[in-house]
Structure 1
Amino acid sequence: MIDPVALWTVIILLGAGSFALRFVFLGVIGDKPLPPWVLRHLRYTAVAVLPGLVAPLVIWPEATGGELDVPRMAAAAVTLGIGLLTRNVVLSICLGAATLYGGLYILG
């Protein structure tokens, strides 16, 4: 069991750190215009973060004990292919999800 004092210390420090990080952007520079080079780089934030969140779920899925499986790889391939062909995020996600669920249903 974790010591309650240590647990609450960690929770409070993480909350304060999270608040401070957000306050720097929203409170300090929130109403000032950002330079064009910063805005150009911020456009790529989602493109950089989403693959980092999704890749571990495809390559080392918890459901299979960390083993690669065909339905997840097929869903990732379909999502990537449709996204590159159509540039439509919603269609890519829907067809990738349909491929995943269909593959899991067919292959078990």
Structure 2
Amino acid sequence: MSSDVTQDYSIWLVIVGLGAGSFALRYLFLGVIGSRPMPAWVLRHLRYTAVAIIPALVAPMVVWPAATGGAPDPARMAAAAVTLAVGLISRNVIASILAGAITLYGVLYLLG
């Protein structure tokens, strides 16, 4: 019984710690720096944040999809390749998303 209570406290300690850390990070940028102009080099680097974060979020879902139990899936690989190709060629986000979605569902339908 006492180990369950200790485990409950440690989980809550982790949750509170992560919440405080997340708040501190956001407050640093919004509360402390938010009203001051940022240098040009910082703004230049911030433009690339989404370009760096989105592939890091998407790549594990393509390479190790939960839908297949972590096994590589040809439908998702094909959809990612088509999305990348259409995005590079057309420079149109909507077109690349639609092409990737059509490819994913088309290949899933063909593979059964």
Give the shorter-chain TM-score range.
Answer: over 0.9
Q: What is residue 65 of structure 1 aligned with on the other side? A: 69
Alignment partner of 1:68: what SS?
coil
Q: What is residue 55 of structure 1 aligned with on the other side? A: 59
Q: What is residue 100 of structure 1 aligned with on the other side? A: 104
1:22 and 2:26 equivalent? yes
Q: How many residues were matched structurally?
A: 108
Gap regions ≥5 residues in structure 2: none
TM-score w.r.t. length of structure 2: 0.89
Q: Which whole-Å CA distance do the structure 2 matches of 1:106 and 1:53 have between them?
A: 27
Q: Which whole-Å CA distance do the structure 1 matches of 2:29 and 2:95 have between them?
A: 33
Structure number with greater CO (CA < 8 Å, separation at least 6) is 1
Q: Greater Rg, structure 1 or structure 2?
A: 2
Output one character per residue of 1:39-75: Cα deviation in whole Å (capped at 9) or x when no partner.
0010000110111111111111122222222111110
Coordinate RMSD, CA, aligned: 1.4
